[in-house]
Amino acid sequence: MGGLAGAAFLVLADKPGDHLDYIGYGAAGGVLAGAAYGSIKTTRALAEVDNGKVKLAVPTIVPGFVPVGTKGEREVVLTAEVLRGRF
């Protein structure tokens, strides 16, 4: 998918033949983005207890909005699970 995005940027270049490296940069960016997305989606908590086994990982940071005051104001709050368990 990243390679296609890089190829799409060739349309914007004055001399597309001189910028074929855009395809490689797009592919590399797609690999990095996919790896980051995969690691975020699979990791949920710092410590997870599953059938008596403890697993340690980097927790997922989840942004959220919390109402503040009476005028409809909101602020951003970041949360992360520290412990998760299935019994």
As a three-state string, the secondary structure of the chain is CHHHHHHHHHHHCCCHHHHCHHHHHHHHHHHHHHHHHHHHHHCCEEEEEECCEEEECCCCEEEEEEEECCCCEEEEEEEEEEEEEEC
Residues 48 and 84 in one domain: yes
Residues 48 and 38 in one domain: no
Residues 48 and 77 in one domain: yes
Residue 85 confidence class, pLDDT cut points 50, 70, 90: low
Is the predicted pLDDT of residue 83 greater than 70, yes or no? Answer: no
**Residue range 56-71: average pLDDT?**
79
Domain span holding position 10: 1-42
Q: For the chain, what is the domain count?
A: 2
Residues 55 and 78 in one domain: yes
Is the predicted pLDDT of residue 5 greater than 60, yes or no? Answer: yes
Residues 84 and 48 in one domain: yes
Please provide the average confidence, as pLDDT, over all residues in the chain.
76
The answer to whether the beta carbons of residues 57 and 41 sit under 8 Å apart is no
pLDDT digits over 8-49, tens only?
777 777 777 777 787 788 888 888 887 777 766 665 666 777
